[in-house]
Structure 1
Amino acid sequence: MKYVSVRVQGRVQGVGFRYFTQHAAMSHNITGWVKNEDDGAVSLEAYGEDNNINRFLEEIKKGPTRFAKVSEMDVNKLSGDPEYSSFDVKY
């Protein structure tokens, strides 16, 4: 299992990025959360099988629409076994 925190920068707010991320996570059996940050970035934590996390991250790099643009994505491995039961959009 793989547990990561991700910070995504670019044009990622106001373009459906959080809901795209939630949908991608659910389709890859990933649990965790995603939220907008005050500085315009999007942060998330994701937990799942290694291969699923890798495919999920590749999908996130592409973004949801032609209006979104990921310019930078920082991924950090976390330790532990989080108790997430779903993938939630935080407000």
Structure 2
Amino acid sequence: MKHFDITVAGHVQGVFYRASTKAVADQLGVKGFVRNEPDGSVFIEAEGDAVSLSMFLDWCKEGPEHAEVISVRSDEGELKNYRNFEVLRKSR
């Protein structure tokens, strides 16, 4: 199991990026959360096996149909053992 902190920049708010991210995470068995950031980016904490996370990161670089992803930054972090994948409404 691995943990990634992922920041997605571009036109990624108001295009169902968070809802689509949850759907993809659920399909791949990735756990964690996604939330919009005040600067217009999307922040994701994702945990899963190496193969699932690799596919998840590939999807993050594309996003849903109307998204325009400019960059995806991912940093490996400490496992938090999330039980599911959630869409958070506000920054913590």
Q: Could you tell me the percent identity over the aligned residues?
A: 35
Cα root mean square deviation, aligned: 0.7
Shift of 1:59: 1.0
Distance 1:89 1:37 in 2: 12
Unpaired segments ≥5 residues, structure 2: none
Counterpart among 73, 79, 84 of residue 82 in structure 2 = 84
Distance 2:85 2:24 in 1: 10
Which letter does structure 1 place at the counterpart of 2:81?
E
Which letter does structure 1 place at the counterpart of 2:19?
Y
State the TM-score, normalizing by the size of structure 1. 0.94
Unpaired segments ≥5 residues, structure 1: none
Distance 1:32 1:52 in 2: 13
Paired residues in the alignment total 89
Name the counterpart of 1:42: 42
State the TM-score, normalizing by the size of structure 2. 0.93
Runs of 4+ in 1 over 6 A off after TM superposition: none
Name the counterpart of 1:55: 55
Please give the secondary structure, in 2, of the residue aligned with 1:14: coil
